[in-house]
Amino acid sequence: MAGLDAYNVSTEIFEKAVEQAEERLGLTGQPRAIVFHEKNGRRHCHAVWSRIKVDEMKAVQLSFTKRKLTELSRELYLEHGWEMPAGLKQSHARDPRNFTLAQWQQAKRIGKDPKQIKAVFQECWSTSDTQGAFVHALKEHGYVLARGDRRGFVALDHRGEVFAVSKWAGIKTKEVRSRLSDEQSLPSVDEARIQIAKDMTMRLDALFQEQAVAFESRMAQLEEKRQSLTRQHKAERQKLRDAQNTLWQRKQQEWRNNLNKGFRGLFECITGKRRKIEERNEQDAWQVKIDQQQQRDTLIFNQLEIRRSLQSRITRLQALNSYRLDELEHDKSQYQAMREQRLEQLEAQRREHNRSRPHPRQRGPDWEW
């Protein structure tokens, strides 16, 4: 049963659920095995039945098992007041893509402050006295200087957005052309975008590797912690198991000592006193079993709280890693699309240029008369 992380479900409740499932499936009286274990901070109970009827050498027919067990699950959630998962309320409401969709919705693009952009351009211009110095200054701030189609000289940021130098530096176009005289040495806007996309793709590949290394390092630390907790919890359970076995053996000796032997024992049998002693022994034994099961459940629940806390940290780390990788992949795909689009545009421009070039007239053959 899913969604029970926040509840401490006792062994008795698990066993009753197994018995109800056994009845619903028509497996009453069949041999079975029940196994408890913990995984990722959750307590799991597995029940296995033998379908074979030994006296008849036939297998028990199992029909509509999923529907029967789903109905039983709903009843158990309602009976114990547990919060029912959406998948049990409405089976069609389950969508395995929800988490991925949530990650994409979390990806937010950060805008730039126009005042900050203007300040960068003005600083680069004021500290540069040549075209080369201006190119270098812009590059240090993540911009690429290029020749524009209509706006003269422009600069492109790491996303390929175009900024007119004269506008953002706050100077006249004539002054810009005076300092930036070697226009042909600069790339066109399309060529600059292609180079930006190539450089940023390489950078994103490096960030992928950095994120992977950081994630693996952190996961290794948490895995070491998990293994340490597993060893500690196993030792605690073994200690409790040994203490309970010692108590059980001591109690068994007490119960045996309560039963007299010889003539006195025979007399107690005749008077019915022995039967009362046996009943007290049985009641005492039953109470010891209940107390020991409660001790085991208490220890298990305490350990599960610790494991859940650790598992929560692991889950958050995995979600954060997935979000960051998705964000990097999204950015990388944008740069790849930008590069491919610009390459196609350059190729189209080249073909158009070739078609518009004048071709020499083909001379016809010379005819002699």
| Residue 108: predicted pLDDT | 32
pLDDT, one tens digit per residue, over 255-284 is 888 888 887 777 777 888 888 888 888 999
46-72 pLDDT tens trace: 999 999 888 888 888 888 888 888 888
Q: Which two tokens stand for residue 315?
A: 């889950």
For residue 1, what pLDDT band results from cuts at 50, 70 and 90? low
Between 344 and 249, the higher pLDDT residue: 249
Q: List, for residues 292-339, the tens digit of each pLDDT value.
A: 999 999 999 999 999 999 999 999 999 988 888 888 888 888 888 888
Taking 50 as the threshold, does the pLDDT of residue 103 lie above it?
no
Q: How confident is the model at residue 112 (pLDDT cuts 50, 70, 90)?
A: low
Alpha carbon distance 55, 42 (integer Å): 39
Rounded to the nearest integer, the mean pLDDT of the chain is 81
344 pLDDT above the threshold of 60: yes
**Per-range mean pLDDT, top range of 84-88, 98-102, 177-181, 230-234:** 230-234
Amino acid occupying residue 137: A
Report the C-alpha dihedral over residues 149, 152, 156, 161, rounded to 10 degrees: -60
